[in-house]
Structure 1
Amino acid sequence: MKKETSTLNSPEAISICRSKQLTKEMLRAAGLPTPDGIVLRQDQFDEALAHVQAVGRPSVLKPLSQGRGEGVVCGIATEDDLRAAWETAGRAARRAPELLLEEQIEGIDIRVSVVGRRVVAVATRLPSHVVGDGRRSIAELVELKQRRRDQHAYLAKSPLTVERALLARAGRALHDVPVANEVVVLNGPSNVGTGGENVDVTGLVHADLLNLAVDASRAIPGLRNTGVDLMAQDLDTVDGAVILEANFCPDIRVHHHPAYGRPRDIAGAIVDEMLASAGAPARWPSRRRARHVRVVRRLARAARRRLSADRRLQE
């Protein structure tokens, strides 16, 4: 393991997944559905604007080689939208200067974790949002939710992000007071890194959607541990679903520490697959596997103690 990249993935698979465009080409070559889009250099703003105007529907702009939702801007429909998004995505595009401009697909954002050729867990991610109570302003609701978020083992590392331009397009401002139970979306991408929330939906997703994720992993040679991002119209059907990307180093904490729902042991599945690929049977009660489990548990306890100490200092 290196960070969250396991030896289950070949160097070739990692190189492909680093590029959103190359990943899309591999998926399309396998006959799998992906959003339409074009790759642009950062000096091709005019070409990007012409594309947005020709499409006539909202678009998404993202750095070609960046992950964790960084630099992704949704809901681009006008020249002003595109200029603001161009600046945001351009700042985040560190490894490669190109940007990917895609059609925006509406639906349910799903992360399917595939280990080997088996789906281990599924989560959906909600965009950063607050729910009105009829008394507090959006700014006050954001502050209250952030305090709760700070107590979560996983979400604490990613503060709520407010995209003021998105609020403005919806005719809202931070001082507005939403009515009771009104949902106010704060940020476009459904990504935990930008303030979203992860919800476990393992066991609730149609088998055809799961098979689509497995097919995506098969389309990229040497990719045996991946988080496949799908946009689905409903959890009960594959109709209209598209593959957004395949991640070679998926954040397994999405499943280990859901905001809502049951935790799933992705780390254990990865260790089992690594042992099986080395010739040892999965779930083999060996001393080696037991030692791995003890080490992981000690690291988890140390992390919890450090987190508790940091919180006491903050208080």
Structure 2
Amino acid sequence: MPRVSDTARPSGPAPGSTTSPTDAFEVLRTFLAEHGGGTPVDYSETRVQSAATLLTRAARRRKLGVSKVYRNHQIITGGGRVVGGFAGHLTSLASDEADRAALSIPRVRGLLTRAGIPIPEGSWFAPEDVEAGAAWFSELGAEAVVKPAFSQDGAGVTRHVRDGETFRAAWENAVSRRGEAVGADSAVVVERHHSGLDLRVFVVGEELVAAMARVPLFCLGDGRRTVRELASEAAARREAHPRLGTHAHDALAHAEASGIPLDEISEDGRPYLLGEDVAAPAGGVTVDVTGALGEELQTLAVDAAWAVPGCKAAGVDLLVQGLESVGEAVVLDVDARAGIAAHQYPWIGRRRAVADAIVQQMAATTRG
């Protein structure tokens, strides 16, 4: 795996370099045609394990002890010393600065900019400064994304904001659904919308240990069955998924509204989108791409995590134009509080034991 690069990068793509809606669909279509053909993992009656359970079991596999010290705060011990600890998704591999950054996209963006990491053009405003936000959006003259400076599971995020009316609705959505954690930034972020493939990667130490693409629910044509049959099968598999199935999604209704010919024989190898958003609550699914990510993108993700002082484990969100090239890629966030269960339970692909990598890094950090 690549190590942290000393090469400086521009702070963002050139103005006007974002892809068009047609290009954006082609990026997604190409990805799904190449990587979406796997059979969704059958988890049967599997129950999703929490981050605490995953970390506890990873520690015990290494013959380490786990003890609760306060509410959800737990420490990992071994050899008569404290190896590390965790509270929810936050681990002792995150410094105070990394924890503060996890609660504020503006703070993360400032750190990324200083490190020369490409980020979207954007600004942020106090919740009551809707007029200032609207003025900045008008000057941007492009589609925007409006979201809380801190939220969970994509709550409060509105993409493809095109006019003043939708901007104000998006602003209200961001304000009403922002995260309530202690110390969370209450600002509203307004940024240029960048089309591309949505990736969540997890970096531990100087290694990228897991990567997944977040895509709308889809099915691939096989040239034999109707689109309705394939869509119904995909919807049923998603409903049975222990994580994704907790979020209801009407795939057939979306397909009908999109004009997809449900009762025609599917075109072999053609992706049919059965949703429009990548977030799990809106019908999104995940595809593990850990082994397919190009070296430049791996290095970009590691560099982004290391741009946050003392951040030795974090989820990194990127928008990319493909899995092989860093061209036009932007980093959206570095989150030391990112969940690890999504990598353990992908829709398609290999399960990644991020918890084991975290515990191993804790042990390596305290070794001496």
Asked whether the two chains share a fold, i.e. TM above 0.5, the reply is: yes
Residue range with higher mean Cα deviation, 85-94 or 41-50: 41-50
Give the number of aligned pairs: 269
8 Å Cα contact 2:152-2:179 kept in structure 1: no
Alignment partner of 2:202: what SS?
strand
Q: 1:259-270 residue pairs with structure 2 within 5 A?
A: 259-270=347-358
**2:304 aligns with one of 216, 223, 230:** 216
Tell me the TM-score normalised to structure 1 length: 0.76
- For 2:170, give the aligned amino acid: A
Aligned partners of 1:71, 1:128: CA distance in 2, in Å?
20
Q: Which residue of 1 aligns with 2:294?
A: 206
* More helix by percentage: 1
- For 2:241, give the aligned amino acid: H
Aligned partners of 2:152, 2:334: CA distance in 1, in Å?
11
Q: Which residue of 2 aligns with 1:13?
A: 98
Q: 1:52-67 residue pairs with structure 2 within 5 A?
A: 52-67=137-152
8 Å Cα contact 1:128-1:161 kept in structure 2: no
Q: 1:108-127 residue pairs with structure 2 within 5 A?
A: 108-127=197-216
2:244 matches 1:155: yes
2:163 matches 1:78: yes
Aligned partners of 2:338, 2:179: CA distance in 1, in Å?
20
Aligned partners of 2:139, 2:364: CA distance in 1, in Å?
51
Aligned partners of 2:115, 2:130: CA distance in 1, in Å?
31
- For 1:114, give the aligned amino acid: V
Structure 1 residues 161 and 46: CA distance shift in structure 2, 3 A? farther
* Percent of residue pairs bearing the same amino acid type: 31
Q: Which residue of 2 aligns with 1:258?
A: 346
Shift of 1:8: 0.9
CA deviation vs aligned residue, 1:66-97 (integer Å, no higher than 9, x gap): 13211111010012221321222121124343
CA deviation vs aligned residue, 1:169-203 (integer Å, no higher than 9, x gap): xxx97596645567346344x23343211101112
Note the residue ranges of structure 1 that are not aligned, 5 or more in a row.
Answer: 281-315
Alignment partner of 2:213: what SS?
strand
Higher RCO (CA < 8 A, seq sep 6+):
2
Q: Which residue of 1 aligns with 2:176?
A: 91
Note the residue ranges of structure 2 that are not aligned, 5 or more in a row.
Answer: 1-85
Tell me the TM-score normalised to structure 2 length: 0.66
Q: Which residue of 2 aligns with 1:103?
A: 192
CA deviation vs aligned residue, 1:102-150 (integer Å, no higher than 9, x gap): 111111111111111111111111035578987759xxx6x87554323
Alignment partner of 1:197: what SS?
strand
